Copies of this chain bind each other. A is one copy, B any other.
Amino acid sequence: MALSFELLTEPKPVGPRRGRITTRHGTIETPVFMPVGTQATVKTLTPRDLQEVGAEIILSNTYHLYLRPGEDLVAEAGGLHSFMSWGRPILTDSGGFQVFSLAGLRKITEEGVEFRSHLDGSKHFLSPERAIQVENALGADIIMCFDECIPYPADYQYAKDSTARTSRWAARCKRAHQRPEEQALFGIVQGGMYKDLRKRSAEELVELDFPGYAVGGLSVGEPKGLMLELLENTTPFLPVDKPRYLMGVGSLDYVVEGIDRGIDMFDCVLPTRMARHGTAFTSQGRVVVKNAEYARDFSPLDPECDCYVCQNFSRAYLRHLFAAREFTGLRLLSYHNLYFLLAVMKEIRRSIEAGQFKEVKKKYSSYR
């Protein structure tokens, strides 16, 4: 079997859960945050860095790897793990999100999506079958169904039609999947901003019996309250004993809300993207270290952090690296931000084990 999931806390339909996912490339303690390595590298970092910051699984993007260097090349290298020298679990998305984000450059039919590459304008076609073929070639441990991420806002009829198509596509993905013993294929719940469609989507996917389920199309611009309400109308319809993944969410204030509603997995470019823009996550909140106010601040980024960056460099030095446009600055902040976020995830897991999640949630529910 490609994946097994063990719940370490009492199985409940909702509420925070502590679990363990086992794949052929190792185990993942949940709730987990997955750093994003879009182009087969988490920007500025190496696999060794990722191990050091405590990453147990990373995400890579099928759309990008399909276009460059191409899934056949990755397969020839022995698959994504071998190509990028990351021996632990990997999840690939299906390319759906990226393709549907190419507004104006794409055409959707029942068969699939025709689109133009953002790199060179060349024409391409992804269908459920083709997406799974690419994901099979890349060889990640967890792969995702090809779905449509419904734009926000979208009217009811559009959302209903799209969600129904996503369910039909999910069935096609499952049939197309060639490596079910090595790669676990997750279904993706859509439904736009409509509670009844969310419920129906969840039920239709559960009917198809996937080894895990994702919640897609949330945190796309809607108010936080609406998002949480929709989440509450989704997770209760998913099986208790399968991992649940809230796609594209990694802001701590959302992560703790997701965990409270039974989510096990998260991913987001936020920590590394913010880092490259000079913003650090710390136990005292965000620190925009590139700002002039830190020019003579010789204290560490986060006095409570024991990462390589905080043990060795001052805010003043990091600020200097940003002012001088030195790559090393992007790298050090990326390292720290992931270390910080993954340390918080550890804290959260411990708190769930101890039955004290509520307090940790409070601590981070307004983290900015």
Contact = CB atoms under 8 A, between A and B. Distances in A.
A320 B68 contact: yes
B320 A331 contact: no
A324 interface: yes
A236 interface: no
A291 to B, nearest CB: 14
Nearest to A69: B320
A156 interface: no
Interface string A182-220: 000000000000000000000000000000000000000
A317 B85 contact: yes
A41 interface: yes
Interface residues of A, number: 38
Interface string A54-90: 0000000000100011000100111000011100000
Contact of A326 (B43, B308, B320): B43
Interface string A288-317: 000000011010000000001000111011
Interface stretch (A44-52, A97-105, A137-145): A44-52
A312 B84 CA distance: 8
A209 to B, nearest CB: 36
A298 to B, nearest CB: 6
Interface string A325-351: 011101110000000000000000000
A39 interface: yes
A253 to B, nearest CB: 29
A69 B323 CA distance: 8
A118 to B, nearest CB: 12
A326 B39 contact: yes
Contacts of A298: 76-78
A255 interface: no
B77 A321 contact: no
Nearest to A328: B41
A317 B43 contact: no
Interface in A19-46: 39-41, 43-46
B77 A314 contact: yes
9 contacts: A39-B321, A41-B326, A43-B327, A47-B312, A48-B308, A69-B295, A73-B316, A83-B317, A85-B317
Given A44-B328, A46-B328, 10 more contacts: A39-B320, A40-B320, A44-B327, A45-B328, A68-B324, A73-B295, A73-B296, A77-B298, A77-B316, A85-B313
Q: Lowest 9 CB-CB distances: which A-B pairs, in order? A: A85-B312, A39-B324, A41-B328, A69-B320, A44-B327, A41-B326, A327-B327, A77-B298, A83-B317
